[in-house]
Amino acid sequence: MKQLIFLISIPVILWSQDIPKSSTQYGELIVAKFASAAFPDPQRSAGYTYAGKLYSFDQHYSDSSVAMFIPRGFRKTDTVDLVFHFHGWFNNIDTTIARYQLARQFTESGKNAILIIPQGSRNVPDSYGGKLEEKDGFKKLVLDVVRYLYDLKKIKTQQVGRIILSGHSGGGHVEAFILARGGLTEHIKEVYLFDALYGQTEKVVHWIDTYKGKLITMYTDSGGTKEETKSLMADLDSWNVASRACEDVDCSESILQQNRFVFLHTMLQHDEVLYAQDAFQKFLQASILDDR
């Protein structure tokens, strides 16, 4: 029966035993397999070699899991708003939810949306986004996830509302490809880069220019994103596009709300930017999403 289900590309629920139970105190966490997920993907069918080490397909590129977190108090509305978060190197769904306290931060933001965390390259130094880098790859996954949640009666509509993209570290790579070719781009209203702007900046700039969305970029001195971030800031300035730059500790909710482009420098370490000062929660609190 399972083989038949996968052949007709209907997602199958699979509860992950590795996701910490503490996450569920903030809401309902569902993990399912989707044919439209980032992996498996033909470009990593033989694995991937980095710094002389081979990362096998079976261990690192065969997981089609997608986590869906519904926060406590979620209201079913006529459209469903979604926040997608993409993890970075040497991470997976379970470690991302646990280490970066995403369920807590998402719930405490008070926003009425569903958090989606696709499994990327699993526990490997690789930013490749698999099928999510293909034309309309993101759209396929979004529609599958929404249909799945609708069938579970977790939402009352399959009408996609507003989408926010969030990425930490290497997760910024797939965000850029989604903005350029993922489909549903008109629904993407905000993009968060947590020390994640390493390149593909032209894709972000095209989205900025075409879709008028909001961009919040957080960068460190040692995470490898400082020069690319400074270059984007300089470009916006040369184009007479207003932006706001400040230290993260000095950035208020009103600054995040009132500025379309916000560049936050932080003294935190690269792996701390997402959670040490609850930046994910603060960005969401200042977002266009409705309160619960």
Residue 25 lies in a domain: yes
Does residue 276 form part of some domain? yes
Query: Would you state the pLDDT for residue 135?
Result: 97
Strand 214-219 with 188-194, pairing: parallel
Instruction: Give mean pLDDT, residues 48-73.
Output: 97
Cα separation, 189 vs 167, whole angstroms? 15
**Taking residues 188-198, what's their average pLDDT?**
97
> How many domains does the chain contain in total?
1
Identity of residue 275 = Y
Cα–Cα nearest to 132, from 196, 37, 61, 43: 37
Whether the predicted pLDDT of 207 surpasses 50: yes
Q: Is pLDDT of 5 > 90? A: no
Residue found by looking up tokens 């099928």 in the block: 131
Confirm whether 290 is domain-assigned: no
Predicted local confidence at residue 25, as pLDDT: 82
pLDDT tens track for 145-172: 999 999 999 999 999 999 999 999 999 9
pLDDT attached to residue 23: 54
The verdict on residue 40 lying in a domain is yes
Q: What is the largest CA-CA distance in the chain?
A: 59
- Exposure b/e, 240-264, CB count within 10 A at least 16 = b: eeeeebeebeebeeeebeebbbbbb
Tens of pLDDT, residue by residue over 72-84, are 999 999 999 999 9
pTM of the predicted model, to two decimals?
0.92
Instruction: State yes or no: pLDDT of 24 exceeds 80.
Output: no
Please check whether residue 220 is in contact with residue 195, taking contact to mean a CB–CB distance below 8 angstroms. Answer: yes
- Is residue 221 domain-resident? yes
Q: Distance between terminal CA atoms of the chain? A: 39
Question: What is the per-residue pLDDT for 198?
Answer: 96
Q: What average pLDDT does this structure show over 63-75?
A: 96
pLDDT-derived band at 14 (thresholds 50, 70, 90) equals very low
Tens-digit pLDDT profile for residues 92-141: 999 999 999 999 999 999 999 999 999 999 999 999 999 999 999 999 99
| pLDDT score at 1 | 31
Q: Tell me whether residue 220 is in a domain.
A: yes
Domain annotation covers residue 292 = no
* Residue ranges making up the domain that contains 163: 2-285
What φ, ψ does residue 51 adopt, rounded to 5°?
50, 40
| CATH number for 264 | 3.40.50.1820
pLDDT in tens, 224-281: 999 999 999 999 999 999 999 999 999 999 999 999 999 999 999 999 999 999 999 9
- Report the distance separating Cα 123 and Cα 61, nearest Å: 9
Residue 12 has pLDDT above 50, yes or no: no
DSSP secondary-structure letter at 42? G
- Asked if residue 163 belongs to a domain, the reply is yes
**Percentage of residues in the chain having pLDDT higher than 90:** 90
* Element of type H or E holding 76: none
pLDDT at 7 over 90: no
pLDDT the model gives residue 277: 95
